[in-house]
Structures are given as structure tokens and as C-alpha cells.
Structure 1
Amino acid sequence: MYQEKIEAIKAAIAKADANTPEELESFRMEFISKKSVVGGLFAEMGKIPNEEKRAFGQLVNGVKQIAEEKFQELIEKVNQANKKSKSADIDLTLPPSNHEIGGIHPLTATRQRIIEIFERIGFNLSEGPEIEDDWHNFTALNFPENHPAREMQDTFFIEKNPDIALRTHTSSVQVRVMENQKPPIRTLSPGRVYRNEAISARAHCIFHQVEGLYVDENVGFADLKNTLYHFAKEMFGKGTKVRFRPSYFPFTEPSAEIDITCMICGGKGCNVCKGTGWVEIGGSGMVDPNVLENCGIDSKKYTGFAFGMGIERIAMLKYQIKDLRLFTENDVRFLKQFRPIL
């Protein structure tokens, strides 16, 4: 009698089918689980006479194996069906979705643009340490010890070693280049610098500079002016006006500050240009012969020019930003303005 029951269960397993996860689960509950019909056969083992238990057990185990093999077949069938349905839902001819992504920080974009402009006219890139010694940050650049010129830059000194400080300019990188490379030298040194200044809309204790250096035979002030004219036109547009004002820097002689037309007010006057219509973008000049000699370069044979600009100042003008502090406050409302348009 139990043989007929087992044959009926086998027939039911053979006919069973599943095309969805729900149908697959129904099969499992009916033929695989402990409460299934197959599980019920094992529960009847105690009612079978001892002489028939061995044969009954073999039949029940055979049914269990058939059910498990059929279950694995149905699992593969359902998985394949799901893969086909998912691939059918994807239209590969559609354009990509316009997901929100991050953008390049305006300081990074400005830095990259500055580097790109100067690399096209032969300047290579050089970098150096942000923690610098007195020689590279001051002395080699013609800042004599206890000279008032050192007070031009409020410095973060390392308390336990007054000869070590956070660099106040990337001119220290230029010193390292001149010490380790023979002319001709044409290099650009971008990087982060530190000065002990009060934070305001126009100043910060941490900011970024990019400094350029060109040393070769017969380099003159006209070369400096033409280089910076080219940069200003490329960075801000061909209609940009540039002027040079006499100035003083310990490491250049003669020295000049570089002004351009204020891009924020168009030369009419605003808080960024202090109402003058002009904005200083950096300092420049011919490398002082003492600096060349300090770096092991013959000042009688070689001359050179140097310039330095604040990347934040350039970015403020380029993107018409009126407050320097916005670059470091990580305000999402500000940064979202520089996301790329897809």
C-alpha cells in the first residue's frame, strides 16, 4: 500500500514546475521541507513492520533524492528566467542617466589652468616640502638674519626649532631647483603656503601660491613682462589690461607688482579692488644676483626673472568670488556651483 503512495509522490514531483521564486518556494514546502509529503513518509517509519523497514527506507530515500534533484533543476530554471527578464528590461540604446556627481574644486581647476598656460611656453613643474628650513625659506633668498625684510611675512615657526618653519612662499622650491639644476631653468612651483595672518574676506593663514622662475643667459625684464602679459590674456581674456608698479622684494631687483583690471566690477570699483578698479595678482622682478650666487649660479653669466601669484586671488577674479573664506569652508551650496554640466 505504501508503495502506491510513493509512486504517486514520484509522479507529482515529475509533473511539478516552477517559473517564479514564489512557485519555487511552494515546491520546496510541498516536497523538501520537514512538513512536506516526503517528510511525512519518514514520519510513518514507526508504523512499518520491522521486516519491511529496510525496503521502505530505501524507497523513501529515493523519493527524497528525486525531489532534491528536481528542486535544483527548478532553481536553475528560475535563475535563468530572471537573468533574461533583467537583460530584456535594459535598453542599451538609451543615453546614460544624468546622475549627480561631484565637481572639481575651483582652486584645483584654477591651479590646473595656470599650470597648463605656463607648460605650453616651456615651464616644467617642481615641488618641495611645506615644512622648510631657514636657509631655503629666507637666507638663500637674500633675507639677512635680523633684517627688517623678514617681518614682511608673519611666519609659523616650529616652537622647538626656530630654524624650521611652515614655508611662507613657494620661492623655497625655486632655491632647491637652482641648487640642483644648471641653467637654463624654466620652472613653475605651485603649492600650499602658510602665514600668521588674520582671516578675512581678502586674507587667510593658509593659501596657495604658484611661482615661476626663468634663468638663462641674456634674460631681461622685457621677457618677464611678455610672459606675464601672455598669462593674463590667456587666463582672463584678451581684453584684460595689465599694469606693473615698482615695488620691493628682497630676492628680486628691480621688482614690480602686477595688477589687472578687476574682473568682478569691470574696473568700476568694489570691495575686492578697494574701489580702485585694479587688483594685484602677484609680485615679480629680476632675480637678485645674490640669490643666484647663493644657489651656486654665476650671476655674471646668467640672469633670470621670477614671479609669484596667489591661486585664491586668481580664482576669485576668474569666478567672480568676493570672499576668500568660501574656498575653505566646504559649504555645499558654494561647491555645487562648480559641478560639471552633463
Structure 2
Amino acid sequence: MSGPNTQYDPVEVAALDPAAVEQAVTDALAAIAAADSLDALKAARLAHQGEKSPLALANREIGALPPSAKAEAGKRVGQARGRVGQALAARQVELEAERDARILVEETVDLTVRTPRRPLGARHPISLVTERIEDIFVAMGWEIAEGPEVESEWLNFDALNLSPDHPARGEADTFFVAPAGSGLVLRTHTSPVQIRTMLDREPPIYVLCPGKVFRTDDLDATHTPVFHQFEGLVVDEGITMAHLKGALDAFVQRLFGDGIVTRLRPNYFPFTEPSAEIDCQCWVCGGTDASCRTCGGTGWIELGGCGMVNQRVLRAAGVDPQRYSGFAFGLGIERSLMLRHGVGDMHDIVEGDVRFSRQFGMEI
């Protein structure tokens, strides 16, 4: 076997030709200088310093040369690759400096500029009125009592002295819960909470029962099938109508203004005896303006119903009517809101338009 060819000329390899190497360097320097972004410089690096670049191919050819030719060819290609690497590094520094300077201008944050924010919502005035009413009675020493919205017919009707043939127990007034005959209804008032309270605790009892109730009314300017009411219940020894009148007067003065009083007009409710309608003195005209739109010129505004707790109701709840007596009353929260703030249409209250709620702020 013959030895290596010591007469082999590296110039005969096209990739190692000095002119070809110099041209590869020239092309690389031109591409590097033309790169106007870091992405463009990355592309130039891959084209002129990558594995398939002319200088990389020339470097691989050196291994096939005889020992006497390798040193010169290696020096020539190594110097060429060094010049390209230095140019890439220098251009990298320049482009990074330009990028940083551009970011400082384009992405500057002015901390003094008001930032855009999503508009805040508002608490619903029904919630605000409810809390105000609760605060009034809690300040008088009462407690807040709550109960489920799906009730048994016994708690919603029978325990309250509403007979099976009472009109309120028909489908025209009450939402019954399926299946038929389940004995469950959507409560038509918060009075079942009063029964639950009397069943659960011993007198004396002073509770306010606010909550959502359901009746088969159509939604119009003054009615809605889902509304809120609050009922008060007091059971103690020696309770009379005078205590009821005093509690109502204290309530309306706190809600509608000092000097406002109530009057009681005889009426009938199955769960109270005697029973009365509650009228509140008009807080707009005080009964002096015959053309007042709030009270219609009468000087009085109807609020709700009240009376002394019927002895049958006390017995149904396990309270001894010979020892204890009590009074109860009920008023609509939507009606209180409409009267106090002049809201003319129930649709405004129930449709959920935040512009309506924002009018009331955070306190009523």
C-alpha cells in the first residue's frame, strides 16, 4: 500500500481556494452589516457560520489534506472564521443596544396617567333598604331570623290559621312544588319563619324576619311574582297593641324622618286578632297638601298589615296563650323603597340595570 500523497495541493480543492475563502468572508461581513434586527442577524449567523455555511464546508475539507498541507489551510480557514465571528459579536452588541434604547421609548409607562378601569358595579337598593331596616330593629334589641324559601304547607298555611279552603291556598295565588301532593310550596310570606322561631325557642321572642317571597302575580308597574318583605314578631308576657303601635312609630321615624307617626285601621287577617292596616303619615306634605302625589292628598300612606298574634297560631307553635301574648306585622321592602325614594315602576327594581342601582350609592 502506498503512502500519503505529499505533493497534494490544497488549492485544487475548490472550498479551500484562497479566493473562495475570502469571498465567503466578504459575503458574510456584508450580510452581518445588512442585518437590521436580532432576528436578521440570527439568520445571517446560520447562513455564514452554521454547519452548511461555506466556511464550515471548507473546514471539513481540511481533514482530507496531507499533513504538510493541513497547517496552511487550517490557518487560512481559521482566520476567516474568526473574522466572521468577531463581526457577528460586534453587530450583536450594536443591535442589542438599539433594541434596549427602542424599548425604553416604546414601552415607557407614565405612572401619572389615569389607567382605564372597568366601571364599578353597585349594591342593589333592595339590599341596602333591607340592611337599614334590620339595623333599626337590631338597635331596638331585636334579632334577625331567617328560614327556607321552600316551605311545607303546614308552616306556610295551617299553622297560621289559614283553612284548607282559604283563597290564598289556591294555585291562582301560590306556587306549588312538584310532584303534586308533595305538601311543599314556595313561601308566600315570611310568616313561616315566625312559626319556626316559636317552635325552636322559648319566649320572650323579639325577631325580625326579612326575606324573599313568591306569589303568582304578573310583573307590572306595582307587582312582581318574586319580591321581598319583612315581618316582625314579639311574644312576651303582657304584650298589648300599645307596644305594637310604639314599635311601628319608632320604625317609621327612623326610616322616613322624625315626627312621622302611624295609625291603625281595623282589618282582618287569619293569623292576627285583632288585626289592623298600618298607615304612615305622609313625610312629603305632612297631610297639608291636597295635591300631593305621594299620599294623594289624604296625608296618609298605606304600609302593610299587623295585629295581635291569634291564639290559635300561638297554640300551633307550642306557646301558652294564657301566659304569653304577642304582636306581628308585615311590610313589603319593594314598597318601602318605592315610597321612600319615589320609584314609580317595579320594572326598574327587578330588571338589574346597574344605572338604577348607582343612583342610590352605598347607603340608603
Aligned CA distance change for structure 1 residues 46 and 98 (closer, same or farther; 3 Å): closer
- Are residues 1:90 and 2:98 paired? no
Mapping for residues 1-342 of structure 1, pairs under 5 Å: 26-32=36-42, 34=43, 36-37=44-45, 39-42=47-50, 43-45=53-55, 48=58, 50-52=60-62, 85-86=108-109, 89-91=110-112, 100-147=119-166, 154-158=173-177, 160-162=179-181, 163-263=183-283, 267=287, 268=290, 273=295, 276-331=298-353, 333-339=355-361
Q: Distance in 2 between matches of 1:229 and 1:79?
A: 73
Whether the 8 Å CA contact 1:28–1:71 is kept in 2: the answer is no
Structure 2 counterpart SS, 1:257 = strand
Measured after TM superposition, the shift of residue 52 of structure 1 is 3.6
Whether the 8 Å CA contact 2:191–2:231 is kept in 1: the answer is yes
Q: Distance in 2 between matches of 1:49 and 1:197?
A: 93
Aligned CA distance change for structure 1 residues 217 and 266 (closer, same or farther; 3 Å): closer
Measured after TM superposition, the shift of residue 173 of structure 1 is 1.0
Whether the 8 Å CA contact 1:130–1:166 is kept in 2: the answer is yes
| Structure 1: gaps spanning 5 or more residues | 17-24
Q: Distance in 2 between matches of 1:46 and 1:95?
A: 56
Q: Distance in 2 between matches of 1:319 and 1:126?
A: 27
Structure number with larger C-alpha Rg: 2
1:41 maps to amino acid:
Q
Structure 2 counterpart SS, 1:191 = strand
Whether the 8 Å CA contact 2:48–2:55 is kept in 1: the answer is no
Aligned CA distance change for structure 1 residues 75 and 140 (closer, same or farther; 3 Å): farther
Q: Distance in 2 between matches of 1:269 and 1:53?
A: 113
Structure 2 counterpart SS, 1:102 = coil
Q: Distance in 1 between matches of 2:291 and 2:240?
A: 34
Whether the 8 Å CA contact 1:45–1:53 is kept in 2: the answer is no
Whether the 8 Å CA contact 2:49–2:56 is kept in 1: the answer is no
Q: TM-score, normalised by structure 1?
A: 0.76
Q: Distance in 1 between matches of 2:89 and 2:317?
A: 88
Moved more, 327-336 or 221-230: 327-336
Measured after TM superposition, the shift of residue 159 of structure 1 is 5.6
Measured after TM superposition, the shift of residue 252 of structure 1 is 1.2
1:179 maps to amino acid:
L
Whether the 8 Å CA contact 1:269–1:276 is kept in 2: the answer is no
Aligned CA distance change for structure 1 residues 186 and 52 (closer, same or farther; 3 Å): farther
Q: Distance in 2 between matches of 1:142 and 1:79?
A: 82
Moved more, 236-245 or 133-142: 236-245
Q: Distance in 2 between matches of 1:75 and 1:226?
A: 82
Q: TM-score, normalised by structure 2?
A: 0.72
Q: Distance in 1 between matches of 2:56 and 2:99?
A: 36
Whether the 8 Å CA contact 1:196–1:205 is kept in 2: the answer is yes
Measured after TM superposition, the shift of residue 223 of structure 1 is 1.7
Q: Distance in 2 between matches of 1:80 and 1:212?
A: 67
Aligned CA distance change for structure 1 residues 263 and 333 (closer, same or farther; 3 Å): farther
Q: Distance in 1 between matches of 2:315 and 2:95?
A: 84
Whether the 8 Å CA contact 1:198–1:204 is kept in 2: the answer is yes
Whether the 8 Å CA contact 2:45–2:88 is kept in 1: the answer is no
Measured after TM superposition, the shift of residue 30 of structure 1 is 4.9
Measured after TM superposition, the shift of residue 78 of structure 1 is 7.0
Measured after TM superposition, the shift of residue 236 of structure 1 is 0.6
Structure 1 counterpart SS, 2:329 = strand
| Structure 2: gaps spanning 5 or more residues | 1-17, 65-73
1:291 maps to amino acid:
V
Q: Distance in 1 between matches of 2:362 and 2:94?
A: 52
Measured after TM superposition, the shift of residue 332 of structure 1 is 5.2
Q: Deviations over 1:37-84 (max 9, x none)?
A: 563233224651534479769x68977996899699879967996899
Q: CA RMSD in A?
A: 4.2
Q: Distance in 1 between matches of 2:154 and 2:278?
A: 27
Structure 2 counterpart SS, 1:248 = strand
1:182 maps to amino acid:
E
Structure 1 counterpart SS, 2:359 = helix
